[in-house]
Structure 1
Amino acid sequence: MVSERRAGRAPASLALLALVPPLLLAAPSCRAETDDVALKAAYIYNIAQFTVWPAVAVARPFHVCVGSAHALWESLRKLQGKMVGERRWAVVEPAPGIACDVAVLPAGAHRPQDDNSGTLTIVDEPLAGYAGAVALIEEDQHLRFDIDTKEAARAGLRFSSRLLRLARNVR
């Protein structure tokens, strides 16, 4: 009777074992995607730390504007409450009347119209055209970033020399 039970289980166990290799192959890609968005969020946070903002005494939180459908939404929200200077990081959806300190834009986004807005525009994987003051680039399985100092100056921002040294390209 025991041998019958074991014999009955063997095919089911083998069927489960047959599923393991495909799951193991899929797991690294899911994990890599999660790691990529977490790494991008960390880059955005650190770039904000090394940005010189206009001298404005603001009591509101440090607003990071990103659409909730954007792949970085959840990873950026995990940084909620961290300090950027004297202000707390808060992720919000862009909306009229919301002042953004950082605007995280998807590839293909258009240049914001506001000059001297004090908003740091970061474009995630720009395809062509507008790349923001900072462009996040995946290159050779590494995350890199480009900086456009003219675009930053247009918004009234400057970058620390330490950040500029780390950039892949500075214009």
Structure 2
Amino acid sequence: MTTAYRTPSFLLLIGTVVLCFFAAGLGSLVTVTGTGSWFMTELIKPEWQPPDYLFGPVWTILYLLMGIALAFVLAQGTDRRDVRIAAGVFLVQLVLNVLWSYLFFGWEMIGAAAVEIVVLWVAICATMYLFYRIRPVAAYLLIPYLAWVTFATVLTATIWMLN
């Protein structure tokens, strides 16, 4: 037996992507890594840290995929309790995503950021589980995000240990 899935409307898709890019914008308000910044001048970072220019394009793709994933889930009907719960957990992980930027870059609390990113990782896993139960492709779209946050978790913890 095959399940019939609803396809997100163009407006829903645009709305969820805009939501995710709005979150990205909030985080970017405090993400300062240029010459003379605390990040560049005061922190010891591992040699294997990717170059700074890579983070912007990677996060742009990840936020786009997150928005598309959310649209696929919401398209199944917000009248469904499981869709509302999954969307709520998604929003929690999105807030945690923004919070990490404030903890690490804005408030320079590396240890708190290292702990918080583990909570974010768990929230992403929970989101993926809930999304999978509603629309599997939505969970698959979050795999690159989980992979990147896994790497970011190791990077954050390493920077914390080095400093």
* Superposition TM-score, scaled by structure 1 size: 0.26
* Superposition TM-score, scaled by structure 2 size: 0.27
